[in-house]
C-alpha cells in the first residue's frame, strides 16, 4: 500500500500552498524524514519530508500547482527500492512553466505540458472545467485549481475565471495583446506567491498609511571600538559574533519605550499600544528580503539577539523559515546597507507604524569639535505612519537611536 504524502499544516490561516520544486523525482528512493518537495506559501518556503522510506511512486502535483493543506500531493511505496536506470526526465518535462517560443526544441515539452493540464482539467485533482473556462485558463496560463469554482457540482465556469482575472487586475483578453515586435521576446512568468504577497502588502501600505521619512546619521566609531575591544571575549563566551544588529535592536527598543506610538498600530478608530517589542529584522534570502520577527526582543541580551538573528539569516538562505516566524511584529529594522545602499526610504510593514532603515557604513569627513575628522558614518532613515506619529516624535525618536548607538553606555544606563 502506498503511503500518501500530504501537504502539512503550515500555520493557522494558511489553507493553500503552491508546489515549489520536487527534490525527489518519481521513481527515486527516499529515506524517512528526507525532504521530498518544497512548498511555498505567501510567507515562506518549506520542505515536506517523507514519512516512510521507500520509492516516490507517484507525483500528483506539478511545480507551480496549488494544493490545499491536507491534500495528497504524492505517494510513496514503502520499502521499495528504485529501479535502476529509471527516473528523472518525467518530472522535468512536466514543468508547466517552460519558456514559450523556444523554437523546435521547446515544442515537445510544451505539448507534454498541455497533456498534463488536460488530464487535470478533465477531473484529476482539480474541479471539472467547463470548455470556455478551459480556454480562458490556457490563455492566461492559469491552473484550474487556483480559481474558485462556483458552478453546479463544483464546476469551474467561464465567469469564475473572468472574476479571478479581474481580481488579479488582469483584464480578460490581455494575453491576446499584440505580440512584441519580431526579434524581441517577452517572457510571461507567473508571480510566485511570495512575490504576489509582497506586492500586495507594499501597495496596501502605500495606500492605507500616510508615510513620511525622516533622516539622520550616526557615527559608528563607539560601537566599532566596543566591538573591537570585546569581540574575542564575546565570541568565545557565546559562540556568536558580536554584530551591529544587536546594538540597533537595543537602541530601537530604548527609543520605542520613549515613543510608544511607533510600537503601536491603528485598528479601526482606535490606537493599540503594545507593551511587548516584537522586532522584525530584514534578512536576505534566495527569494529576496524576508523579515522574520524577534519575539520579546526587550528580554534578550546582546548575545541572544545576535544568535537569534544569525539563525534567521542562515535559515532564510536555506528557505527554512516557518510562516509563523514571518508573522506579526510591532516594529521593523531594515538594513539596505548589506547591499551597499547609502540612503533609502523603507516602507512600513502594515499594520506597524514605523520602520528603521540602516545603511552602509562609509568613512566620511565630519566636523567634530571644530575639527574635520574621518569617521565611519551611517545614514539612518525612519519611515513612519503620520496618522499615528507626529513629526516631532519621529525626529526625536531617530535622534535617540543615534545618540544610543553613538554612546552605547546610554543603553546600559537608560539615559
- Residue 8 grid coordinates: 502539512
Q: How far is the CB of 152 from other proteins (least distance, A)?
A: 6
CA distance 318 to 153: 42
Q: Of the two residues 136 and 194, which places its CB atom closer to other proteins in the complex?
A: 136
In the sheet that holds 29-30, the strands lie side by side as 3-6, 72-78, 54-59, 29-30
Nearest of 215, 196, 250 to residue 341 by alpha carbon: 215
Q: Looking at 83-91, 158-166, 180-188, 203-211, which segment touches other proteins (CB under 8 A)? A: 158-166
Q: Which of 33, 102, 296, 390 is catalytic?
A: 390
Number of residues counted as binding other proteins (CB under 8 A):
13
Question: Is 158 an interacting residue with respect to other proteins (CB under 8 A)?
Answer: yes
Q: Return the residue of 79, 85, 103, 131 that touches other proteins, per CB under 8 A.
A: 131
Instruction: By CB under 8 A, tell whether 162 contacts other proteins.
Output: yes
169 contacts other proteins (rule: CB under 8 A): no
- The grid coordinates of residue 2 equal 502506498
The window from 152-160, 283-291, 324-332, 376-384 that contacts other proteins (CB under 8 A) reads: 152-160
16 binds other proteins (CB under 8 A): no
Select from 72-80, 128-136, 225-233, 322-330 the region that touches other proteins (CB under 8 A). Answer: 128-136
Q: Where are the beta strands (DSSP E) in 268-398?
A: 270-272, 279-281, 283-285, 288-290, 293-294, 331-335, 354-358, 361-368, 371-385
Measured at the CA of 48, the angle between CA 56 and CA 240, to 5 degrees, comes to 135
Q: Is 33 a catalytic residue?
A: no
Binding test (CB under 8 A) with other proteins, winner from 86, 90, 135, 228: 135
Provide φ and ψ at 200, rounded to 5°: -60, -45
Closest contact distance (angstroms) between CB of 117 and other proteins is: 16
Among 81, 111, 115, 132, indicate the residue that binds other proteins (CB under 8 A). 132
Nearer of residues 46 and 136 to other proteins, judged by Cβ: 136
Which residue out of 4, 141, 311, 386 is catalytically annotated? 386
Task: Pick the closer one to other proteins by CB: 83 or 132.
Answer: 132
390 is catalytic: yes
Q: Which is nearer to other proteins, 130 or 398 (CB)?
A: 130
Least separation in angstroms between CB 159 and other proteins: 4
CB burial readout 198-221, b (16+ within 10 A) else e: beeeeeebeeebebebbebbbbbe
Residues annotated catalytic, as ranges: 386, 390
Q: Applying CB under 8 A, which residues contact other proteins?
A: 130-133, 135, 150-152, 155, 157-159, 162
Amino acid at each position: 500500500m502506498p503511503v500518501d504524502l500530504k501537504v502539512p499544516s503550515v500555520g493557522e490561516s494558511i489553507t493553500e500552498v503552491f508546489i515549489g520544486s520536487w527534490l525527489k523525482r518519481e521513481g527515486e528512493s527516499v529515506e524517512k524524514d528526507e525532504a521530498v518537495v518544497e512548498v511555498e506559501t505567501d510567507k515562506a518556503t518549506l520542505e515536506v519530508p517523507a514519512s516512510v522510506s521507500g520509492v516516490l511512486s507517484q507525483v500528483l502535483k506539478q511545480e507551480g500547482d496549488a494544493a490545499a493543506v491536507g491534500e495528497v500531493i504524492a505517494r510513496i511505496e514503502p520499502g521499495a527500492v528504485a529501479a535502476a536506470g529509471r527516473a528523472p526526465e518525467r518530472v522535468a518535462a512536466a514543468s508547466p512553466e517552460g519558456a514559450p517560443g523556444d523554437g523546435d526544441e521547446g515544442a515537445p515539452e510544451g505539448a507534454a505540458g498541455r497533456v498534463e493540464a488536460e488530464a487535470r482539467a478533465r477531473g484529476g485533482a482539480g474541479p471539472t472545467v467547463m470548455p470556455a473556462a478551459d480556454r480562458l485558463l490556457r490563455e492566461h496560463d492559469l491552473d484550474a485549481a487556483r480559481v474558485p469554482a462556483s458552478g453546479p457540482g463544483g464546476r469551474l465556469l467561464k465567469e469564475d475565471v473572468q472574476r479571478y482575472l479581474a481580481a488579479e487586475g488582469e483584464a480578460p483578453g490581455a494575453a491576446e495583446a499584440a505580440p512584441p515586435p519580431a526579434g524581441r521576446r517577452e517572457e510571461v512568468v507567473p508571480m510566485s506567491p511570495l512575490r504576489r504577497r509582497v506586492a500586495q502588502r507594499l501597495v496596501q501600505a502605500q495606500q492605507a498609511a500616510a508615510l513620511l521619512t525622516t533622516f539622520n546619521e550616526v557615527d559608528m566609531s563607539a560601537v566599532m571600538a566596543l566591538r573591537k575591544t570585546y569581540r574575542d571575549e564575546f565570541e568565545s563566551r557565546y559562540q556568536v559574533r558580536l554584530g551591529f544588529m544587536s546594538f540597533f535592536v537595543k537602541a530601537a527598543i530604548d527609543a520605542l519605550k520613549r515613543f510608544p506610538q511607533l510600537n503601536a498600530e491603528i485598528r479601526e478608530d482606535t490606537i493599540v499600544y503594545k507593551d511587548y517589542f516584537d522586532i522584525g529584522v530584514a534578512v536576505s534570502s534566495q527569494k529576496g528580503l524576508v523579515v522574520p520577527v524577534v519575539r520579546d526582543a526587550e528580554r534578550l541580551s546582546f548575545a541572544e539577539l545576535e544568535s537569534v538573528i544569525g539563525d534567521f539569516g542562515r535559515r532564510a538562505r536555506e528557505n527554512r523559515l516557518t510562516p509563523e516566524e514571518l508573522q506579526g511584529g510591532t516594529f521593523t529594522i531594515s538594513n539596505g546597507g548589506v547591499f551597499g545602499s547609502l540612503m533609502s526610504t523603507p516602507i512600513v510593514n502594515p499594520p506597524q507604524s514605523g520602520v528603521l532603515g540602516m545603511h552602509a557604513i562609509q568613512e566620511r569627513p565630519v566636523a567634530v569639535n571644530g575639527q574635520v575628522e574621518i569617521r565611519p558614518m551611517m545614514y539612518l532613515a525612519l519611515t513612519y505612519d503620520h496618522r499615528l506619529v507626529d513629526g516631532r516624535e519621529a525626529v526625536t525618536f531617530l535622534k535617540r537611536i543615534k545618540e544610543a548607538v553613538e554612546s552605547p553606555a546610554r543603553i546600559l544606563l537608560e539615559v
